Amino acid sequence: MLSWEYPPGTAGGIAAHVDGLAHALALSGVEVVLITRAHPLADAPSETGAESDGVRVLRAAVDMPWLAGGSDIARTASANHAMVVRSAALGDWRPDVVHAHDWQVAWAADVLATLFDVPLVTTLHGTERGRHGGHLPSGEATDINSIEWWLAFRSARVITSTKLMVREIAGGFELDPARVHRIPNGIDPAWWRSDGPGPPPGDQPALILTWGRVQFEKGFQVLARAISTLRTRRGNLECIIAGRGSYLPELQSQLDIEGVSDVVTLPGFLSDHELRATIHRAACVVIPSLYEPFGVVALEALAGGAPLIVADTGGLAELVGGTGSALLFEPGNAEQLADRIDQLLGDPELAARMRRAGAELLEATYTWDAIAARTNDVYLDLLTP
């Protein structure tokens, strides 16, 4: 298995997905070796890799050769050479399947699958076309789309998280739909539930929480406008938008323009433990994405017991629509979002029903054991004569 992102190096849901899937596969009896980037907060790369609860992790130092002033794509491609070199630590061990996660590891995954003469499986956690609303601006976005297309074409099977993404990949990349499999992301509900202090007393500010990569398509600017509207109806509000990303300066400007800098906090990255504690004291979690292929943050919010409000878009709508576990609003509609938050804060019984529905949804569909079993079925199907 190859992934550009893996704990403690996290920039989004991919790292959490790869970590959960790899360990669940290992617990089920699958031998898993993961190749990923070195990270300053991880142990220094050892010659043979490190064992992590049954998963052997090989970390590649990808900082050299570095292309000063070059594009991110060129740097990523160069880093893939280090990942291939790192595979020398495998020794006599040989995989039955190579599994790539997203375009950043495309080159290394394709080379290793070819060298070992085994099938290549790719999980696409999103597409560049989807992130741009179905349109591809010239430049880097078009280049990444070409890499995704090539990787999907080279793969014996492609896995993605929603029916929407299955249609997007099969149609956009001109693949046989039989090669594209829907397997949702998973979560460990027990971990997210543990050590929960519960919501604060009624005299404390009602906390509205969201988190993720701070990019335009995540829609945090929509939440900022909604908070501006909501504070004229309700006092005693607090909002946290956690995460890092290139849109952070623009988002801070938006907070200033909307006049909500005094109630909206941008704390940057929160560790899983910090995030869990914050979810436990939240009156609600809002996911205001303009585009979201799946939305693992929704699973984390449900597992943490927070009432959930999500944009009616893409994978989010497919994930919680019709389940009773969340309220939905039109993407980009700040007035409607403010109405939904106001409705939820004013109806404790509704919030309690949503919490119960969320817990039932997770246990039935999104545990890591279930996700690992479905992924292993894809592997076995390829390996069965």
How high is the pLDDT of residue 135? 78
Q: Are the beta carbons of 6 and 18 closer than 8 angstroms?
A: yes
- pLDDT, one tens digit per residue, over 251-304 is 999 999 999 999 999 999 998 889 999 999 999 999 999 987 767 889 899 999
User: Residue 374's Cα: distance from chain center in Å?
Assistant: 19
Q: Which helix (H) or strand (E) holds 208?
A: strand 206-211
Q: Spell out the domain ranges in the chain.
A: 2-186+367-383, 189-365
Q: Report residue 64's pLDDT band, with 50, 70 and 90 as the boundaries.
A: low
Q: Do domains 2-186+367-383 and 189-365 have the same CATH topology?
A: yes
pLDDT at 30 over 90: yes
Tally Cβ neighbours within 10 Å of residue 302: 30
Which band of pLDDT confidence, cut at 50, 70 and 90, is reported for residue 40?
confident
Q: Is 295 left (phi over 0), alpha (psi -120 to 50) or beta?
A: left
- For 131, the enclosing helix (H) or strand (E) is helix 128-131
Statement: 189-365 belongs to CATH 3.90.1300.10: no
Question: Tens digit of pLDDT for each residue in 78-134?
Answer: 889 999 999 999 999 999 999 999 999 999 999 999 999 999 999 999 888 877 777
Question: CA 97, CA 43: separation in Å to the nearest integer?
Answer: 26
Q: Is pLDDT above 60 for 199?
A: no
Rounded to the nearest 10 degrees, the angle between the axes of helix 13-27 and helix 296-303 is: 70
With beta carbons less than 8 A apart as the criterion, state whether 87 and 58 touch: yes
Bigger pLDDT: 183 or 316?
Answer: 183
**Domain 2-186+367-383 in CATH 3.10.450.50:** no
What per-residue confidence (pLDDT) applies to 355? 93
> pTM here?
0.74
What pLDDT score does 320 carry?
85
Q: Average pLDDT, stretch 223-241? A: 93
